Amino acid sequence: MGLRQTVYVDVLLAVNFFMNYFLMLSAGRILRIALSRTRICLAAAFGAAAALSIFLPRMNLPASCLYKLAVSAGMVLIAYPWGDWRIFTRNMLVVCAVTFGFGGTMFALWLMVSPRGMVYRNGVIYFNISPLFIVGVTVLCYTVITLAGKIMMRLEMRTKIYDAAVTNEGRTARIRLMCDTGNCLTEPFSGAPVIVVRRGAMTHVLPAYFKEYALSGSAVGAGKTPCHFRVIPYETVAGGGLLTAFRPDKLVIFDGKQSYIPAACYIAISDAFDREDYDGVMNPKLLDG
């Protein structure tokens, strides 16, 4: 007669809610979706309630997979905004990949060592172990998944070209920017990211004091130094120097799916920039948040 494992409903719900919350949060970070914590919590609660299937008779593998797929679809619909079927399918694939990555690890652990206090039934994992251990493992998985998502995003950005609109003094210039993951250039005092753009693309929106500096080496203009004007030092493998830069009234960056409006940035002008497929390079920090 085999030993029986007692399953406590409160522990089962708490563990699954906690894991589902971080799994949906991790998938949302990878997808770069604007997340609502309330919707994430509701999705996690839905997934936790579905974990009560551990008390049902054991399902065969096809039935267990269909059940898990239906639960995942419900969580995706609750957690993330609806776009269309294509977006829903993409969201489902990412959520399933994240879930399988975490759940697969736990299933492998159960198969290999069958740790005391752990039950795997009908696709549901139950731990009767220290809550601190559960918190630690889940947070560790979330951290690894988040870092992996950021690395993937950086690799994707390495060759990606973005459209952007620079507005200054009532005029707007439309430019194309490459996100350079090696570009860490920032304005020294504020730490704001810097975009390096060829002069020809910015002529239409350059402020008057900026043109004055180019002509005379002074940006005093009207008796005072403009607060949005900067001379920014830079270093490259080929050497260093100074770039003149200004802070635009507004910058909007488009990636085809969403737009980014940085709180602060500077546009540095380079006369040596001669690319034809894009007008400048930008710091990846402009896409954070």
pLDDT in tens, 36-71: 788 888 998 998 888 787 677 777 778 877 888 888
Q: How confident is the model at residue 234 (pLDDT cuts 50, 70, 90)?
A: confident
User: Which CATH code is given to the segment(s) 161-287?
Assistant: 2.40.70
Identify the CA nearest to 280 among candidates 163, 121, 152, 151: 163
| Alpha carbons 193 and 185: distance in angstroms, whole number | 6
| Alpha carbons 249 and 128: distance in angstroms, whole number | 56
**CA 91 distance to own-chain centroid:** 14
Listed in order, the ranges of the chain carrying CATH 2.40.70 are 161-287
Question: Strand, coil or helix: what is 25?
Answer: helix
pLDDT tens-digit series, residues 93-105: 888 888 776 765 5
**Burial class, 74, CB count within 10 angstroms (exposed 0-12 / middle 13-18 / buried 19+):** middle
pLDDT tens-digit series, residues 155-200: 555 557 889 999 988 899 999 988 876 677 888 888 888 999 988 8
pTM as predicted: 0.47
Q: Tell whether the model's pLDDT for residue 222 goes beyond 50.
A: no
Q: Where are the alpha helices (DSSP H) in the chain?
A: 9-31, 37-50, 61-79, 85-113, 131-157, 199-202, 208-216
